[in-house]
């Protein structure tokens, strides 16, 4: 069943939508990286999440910025969630691709159009929230709003895993990397793990730590990653 998008979701930028479906080399590479083969290359550490986070069929998963839905489908195939995982994205084009990809295996998974800063879900709805490569698109107030929303929808003892391209400390290289990972004309922000943890602390998360996700093989740009929430019993 597909859940309707939030009425208050901001319209997705037309320039980014056009870029996503364009035939430019960057757009073609982006769509490939969001698919199964590219996802394995660009996000290899995520394939160990069921073991590292001790995921069980009872886990209720929300993937924010799900793109083509590759991660939630992969985790669902590995774990076998009792409740269909939910993927949220602001891009109608990405959700359309996710729907087409999903039809190949026929498993029930929810795809929702909505904004990361106004998650269209009830309080305490999920035990795991994942969010990859979205915070570079968020201003500082939007980042804080997103983290507040993640805190709201996480159930007690829930965890959230957030990862993003990070800075190198070299201004020129960071400027170049920001151009590489962002759609043409869009300003992106490369934040460190420390910065993400500070923002998570500020919005009230009781537990924050470096998620230590590595190695990411492609593209060769550092990642920042945080695991936030309430620690499991054996942490």
Ramachandran class of 84: left when φ > 0, alpha when ψ lies in -120 to 50, beta otherwise = beta
Residue 234 has a pLDDT of 47
* Least confident range of 33-42, 45-54, 168-177: 33-42
Q: What is the CATH number of domain 14-229?
A: 3.40.50.150
Choice between 128 and 98, residue whose per-residue pLDDT is larger: 128
The domains of the chain are located at 14-229
- Strand ranges (E), the chain: 61-64, 86-89, 110-113, 126-132, 154-165, 207-210, 223-229
Residues 102-123, mean pLDDT to the nearest whole number: 90
Please give the Cα distance from 44 to 47 (Å, whole number): 6
Residues 123-152, mean pLDDT to the nearest whole number: 96
* Least confident range of 6-10, 60-64, 72-76, 227-231: 6-10
Residues 13-37, mean pLDDT to the nearest whole number: 62
- The set of residues, in sequence order, having a beta carbon less than 8 Å from that of 12 and lying 6+ positions away, is 90, 91, 92
Choice between 70 and 21, residue whose per-residue pLDDT is larger: 70
Residue among 222, 134, 24, 117 at smallest CA distance from 32: 24
Give the DSSP per-residue string, 26-67: HHHHHHHHHSHHHHHHH-GGGGGHHHHTT--TT--EEEET-T
Question: Which tokens sit at 46?
Answer: 């995520």
48-54 contacts at long range (C-beta below 8 A, 24 or more positions apart)? 49/75, 49/130, 49/161, 50/75, 50/78, 50/79, 53/128, 53/159, 53/161, 54/232
pTM: 0.85
Choice between 40 and 44, residue whose per-residue pLDDT is larger: 44
Residue 68 clears pLDDT 60, i.e. is over it: yes
Residue 210 clears pLDDT 70, i.e. is over it: yes
pLDDT tens, 156-193? 999 999 999 999 999 999 999 998 887 766 789 999 99
Residues 81-98, mean pLDDT to the nearest whole number: 92
Residue 9 clears pLDDT 50, i.e. is over it: no
């Amino acid at each position: 069943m597909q859940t309707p998008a939030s009425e208050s979701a901001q319209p997705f930028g037309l320039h980014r939508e056009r870029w996503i479906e364009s035939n430019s080399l960057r757009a073609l590479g982006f769509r490939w990286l969001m698919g199964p083969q590219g996802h394995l290359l660009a996000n290899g550490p995520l394939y160990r999440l069921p073991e590292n986070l001790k995921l069980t069929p009872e886990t209720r998963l929300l993937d924010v910025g799900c793109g083509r839905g590759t991660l939630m489908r992969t985790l669902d195939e590995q774990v076998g969630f009792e409740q269909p995982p939910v993927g949220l994205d602001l891009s109608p084009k990405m959700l359309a691709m996710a729907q087409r990809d999903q039809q190949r295996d026929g498993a029930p998974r929810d795809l929702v159009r909505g904004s990361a800063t106004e998650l269209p879900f009830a309080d305490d709805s999920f035990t795991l929230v994942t969010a990859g490569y979205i915070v570079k698109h968020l201003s500082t107030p939007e980042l804080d709003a997103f983290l507040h929303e993640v805190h709201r929808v996480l159930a007690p003892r829930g965890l959230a895993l957030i990862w993003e391209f990070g800075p190198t400390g070299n201004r020129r290289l960071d400027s170049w990397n920001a151009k590489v990972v962002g759609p043409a004309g869009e300003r992106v922000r490369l934040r460190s793990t420390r910065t993400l943890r500070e923002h998570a602390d500020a919005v009230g998360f009781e537990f924050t730590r470096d998620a230590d996700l590595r190695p990411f093989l492609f593209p060769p740009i550092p990642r920042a990653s945080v695991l936030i929430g309430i620690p499991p019993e054996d942490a």
